Amino acid sequence: QVVESGGGLVQSGGSLRLSCTASGLRLDYWTIGWFRQVPGKEREGVSCISSIKTTDGRESYADSVNGRFTIARDTAKNTVYLQMNNLKPEDSATYYCATRYRTCGRLEAPISLAEYDYWGQGTQVAVSS
């Protein structure tokens, strides 16, 4: 039901925009989180935007991406974007989108799959130095 897209290979300092869409879910009624994972490491939170029904849709960011990444909703397209600017090699990972009805929670690793209700399959981001 949840699908990510927009990953790819980019040079350090470049930008990518990831998209999260869902069938059967009105995403503005759900909290949306973006997460990433590197093989052999724990899944960590990147950003989150709370449901408009539970809060005022506030956003949160991991310290490592704050000021470089922006999460935003396009209600008309039922899509949540993660705009990633000034990418660094350490941003390379598989990025996942997930939804839940509760407000945004913590972003620190480890993030359990059980903390969110629906997860996408992930999209890979590779940043070359």
Residue 63's pLDDT is 97
**Banded model confidence at residue 1, pLDDT cuts 50, 70, 90:** confident
Work out the percent of the chain whose per-residue pLDDT is above 90.
85
The rounded Cα 70 to chain-centroid distance in angstroms is 10
Alpha-carbon dihedral sign for residues 52, 55, 59, 62? negative
pLDDT in tens, 24-80: 889 989 999 999 999 999 999 999 999 887 766 789 999 999 999 999 999 999 999
Calpha distance 19→83 (Å, rounded):
9
